[in-house]
A and B are shown apart, each in its own frame.
Chain A
Amino acid sequence: MAVITYRQALHDTLRSELLRDPNVFLMGEEIGVFEGSYKITAGLLPEFGPERIRDTPIAEEGFVGAAIGAAMLGLRPVVEIMTINFSILAMDQIVNHAAKIHTMFGGQSKVPMVIRTPGGGGQQLAATHSQNLEVWYAHVPGLKVVVPATPADAKGMLAASIRDDDPVMFIEHLALYNTKGEVPDGDYVTEIGKAAVMKEGTDITIVSYSRMAAVALDVAKRLEEDEGVSAEVVDLRSLRPLDRHTIVESVKKTGKAVVLEEDWLSYGVGAEIAATIQEGAFDYLDAPVRRVGAAEIPLPYSKPLELAALPDATALVKVIHETLDATRFRG
């Protein structure tokens, strides 16, 4: 088990999948000669050639549409969209075509494609390049949406996504690329649709995903050491399908839940989690489900303002304390 970065895990998995299955090929802006804006595809063009590592024009709707066609005819395209903010340009192809072709045409054709794209803020990329739009896709039946938080899940879930017969939105996070973690060697596939309990606990459940899951885990460890609070951290890993069972079982154990998400709260992932909890664990709740998310504004460019607008460990700790206090946990 090697310790590598999230970026390296993605790169290595793309390479091993290209080696494993000749139907797998990559498309995207600047992924070949330039090796990708975030260098995920470094070195792949020389190894696999321009037939399988295809640089595309700056035309998201066009190349996503092309990938859909390729997938329908038996290939397994892995498309890189430079950031999730640009996926909006391909929204019609993703939502109205990739997600629907299999069912609308009576199952004649599947669409086994992956769209890799990073989201998230915190890089001073300003309002149009810092968004968390995963919930837009998680809303749509016919798509799968995965949001790995660790290098190991980056590997296991990318392999699973490429081998999946449905279109998968594989959503990375800009701030995770340099994070390191242990990654299993060899062929490693993580089942899509299963949340991970990153840390077990008995006092409160923290539900999160992607970069915020890493923040939640860090907070939980600190709370345990500093205050003796036993927090359980549930990393969703997949927003669609959503592993409601793991969430509900955790809350049945702890009676309290806080959702940490980087997106805006209104109509967001946390709203779905809160609904899931009240449906599945109503009689186990000792306090309202709380959510911690981004300020409901276009994300500012200014670093102090950007930091103030994004959720962080301090905000999470505050809400955890409030929730614990609401149940007289701390006396």
Chain B
Amino acid sequence: MPEVFMPRLSDTMQEGTVSTWTKNVGDRVEKGDVLAEIETDKATMELEAYDSGVLEKILVDVGKTVPIGEVIAVIGDGSGVGKGSGSGVAAGEATPAAPAADVPPEPPVSPMPGTPTAVPTGGAVEPPAPVSVKEAAAGSWANGTAPAGPIKASPLARAIARDAGLDLSTVRGSGPGGRIVRADVQAAVAALGSGVTPAAAAPTPSAISTGPDVEELPLNNVRRITAKRLVESMQQAPHFYLTSVVDADELVAARARINAGLAAVAGDATPVKVSVNDIVVKAVASALRAHPEVNVSYTGEKLLRYRRIHVGVAVALPDGLIVPVIRDADTLTITQISVQTRELAARARAGKLKPEEFTGSTFSVSNLGMFGVDQFTAVINPPEAAILAVGATKQEPVVRDGAIVVGHTMRVTLSIDHRALDGATAAKFLADLTALLENPLAALA
């Protein structure tokens, strides 16, 4: 599979900047076609394809500078389009799964107060724990003994890690000289699904207390990693919070009507039932579409604005959290969101989630409403810029047309990374989101 390298376009050129991609991923490319414009230290020049085929991957974003010789794109037979999480991004399209090459896809951390949102029927979502690919494996190095220098890994281990979005620097190699081999990577990937980290697993309790007052419980890896990530989020992302009280009469009515309709068309089959949270996810996705400035990540050097909207839905497990991702949620119907969420939650319980199914979200929703919680604040799931905490929908006295009547309300609280967003921007988003929730038909429109 021919790779396209950053060419040496002048004698003094050391690095080049991609100023334009003239082809998109998936485009047919003929030898000699102009693929991109490269800005050198002297001029902007056209980069021609040396091979014919299909542009399968673009690895360097527009505006990004890389040294000569670095692979910036891949031309193949087309079978590689969209494969592998390391496949980079389409021209100018920063996807959350693979942001710019110099920004390692940060795995999501489980938002602090997270609960099963979309599984009202299945009971509490249990088992396995979550946590990012990167961190679950990181358990191996939790004692801080990660080696310095280049990572030694077999090509096969590298390929598997690449496909799974696993950061090899977090995996301990068991091969000769500490080489990471397939078995290590597969164990690390499997651990993500099962919540158990391979070799490291649960550390032996150093001293089991014999005293009657305190019982020492060894931390499982997931709990330790979750804790670490949440601390990072709170330390690094300056949170601020905005709360809105949603008049939820229409929301409750809409949900009832939708479920009645679904039951009517289901016949003898078990009807799909949508939850309040499914509608919230849809409304969030619609609001994000209207407010792309919220669908971002702060990287320290730049802001990544995601063109696709992937909503993470926090799911509680007995000893941790996991955030399955509803991809392209803005393009899905509420019913599709419902079906997907339940399916992902069921597999989360079974420990069968694939890494790509709980990484890459661009915004998360956490819901504790079914536990009767009125209102709470959630910890942002990095590298996202915001998370929505959803409280219970309940009957309350509300003022309507100057009179106190019984209505439905729901409190939603937005946690925002102040590095990425300011108060006014977030407030506009929340106002529009509230409006969508108060008139759910608008979210469907």
Contact = CB atoms under 8 A, between A and B. Distances in A.
The 3 residue pairs across chains A and B that have the minimum distance between CB atoms:
A283-B159, A286-B156, A328-B183
Contact of A283 (B158, B175, B179, B184): B158
A283 B155 contact: yes
B159 A328 contact: no
Kindly name the residue among A283, A284, A286, A329 whose own CB sees the greatest number of chain B CB atoms within 10 A.
Answer: A286
B183 A327 contact: yes
B174 A328 contact: yes
Contacts of B159: 283-284
A328 B198 CA distance: 13
B182 interface: yes
A49 B182 CA distance: 63
A172 to B, nearest CB: 37
B176 interface: yes
Interface in A120-146: none
Contact of A328 (B155, B156, B158, B175): B175
5 contacts: A255-B182, A284-B155, A285-B155, A287-B154, A328-B181
Nearest to A329: B183
Interface of A: 255, 282-287, 326-329
A284 B181 CA distance: 11
A328 B182 CA distance: 9
B181 A287 contact: yes
B175 A287 contact: yes
B175 A326 contact: yes
A289 to B, nearest CB: 11
A42 B176 CA distance: 55
Interface in B169-220: 174-176, 179, 181-184
B155 A282 contact: yes
Given A326-B175, A326-B179, A328-B175, A286 B154 contact: yes
Given A326-B175, A328-B174, A285 B183 contact: no
A282 B175 CA distance: 18
A126 to B, nearest CB: 38
Contacts of B175: 287, 326-328
Contacts of B311: none
B181 to A, nearest CB: 5
A284 B174 contact: no
Nearest to A285: B155
Interface of B: 154-159, 174-176, 179, 181-184
Nearest to A331: B183
A212 B179 CA distance: 31
Given A286-B156, A326-B179, A327-B182, 5 more contacts: A255-B182, A285-B155, A326-B175, A327-B181, A327-B183
A283 B183 CA distance: 15
A328 B176 contact: no
Contact of B176 (A255, A283, A285, A326): A326
Contacts of B158: 283
B180 to A, nearest CB: 10
Kindly name the residue among B154, B174, B179, B183 whose own CB sees the greatest number of chain A CB atoms within 10 A.
Answer: B154
B170 to A, nearest CB: 18
A327 B180 CA distance: 9
Contacts of B155: 282-286
B261 to A, nearest CB: 49
A329 B154 CA distance: 14
Contacts of B157: 286
Nearest to B156: A286
Nearest to B177: A326
A325 to B, nearest CB: 8
Nearest to B180: A286
A309 to B, nearest CB: 27
Kindly name the residue among B156, B174, B176, B181 whose own CB sees the greatest number of chain A CB atoms within 10 A.
Answer: B156
B156 A255 contact: yes
Contacts of B179: 326
A285 B181 contact: no
Contacts of B182: 255, 286, 327
Contacts of A285: 154-156
A283 B157 CA distance: 8
A326 B181 CA distance: 8
Contacts of A326: 175-176, 179, 181
B205 to A, nearest CB: 25
A151 to B, nearest CB: 37
Nearest to A322: B176
B3 to A, nearest CB: 13
A290 to B, nearest CB: 12
A326 B176 CA distance: 6
Contacts of A284: 155-156, 159
B156 A283 contact: yes
B418 to A, nearest CB: 42
Nearest to B157: A286
Nearest to B173: A328
Nearest to A327: B181
A111 B176 CA distance: 51
A30 to B, nearest CB: 52
Contacts of B174: 328
A313 B183 CA distance: 27
Given A283-B159, A284-B159, A287-B175, A328 B154 contact: no
Nearest to A328: B183
A221 to B, nearest CB: 25
Nearest to B175: A326
Contacts of B154: 285-287, 327
A287 B181 CA distance: 8
A327 to B, nearest CB: 5
A284 B158 CA distance: 9
A190 B158 CA distance: 39
Contacts of A327: 154, 175, 181-183
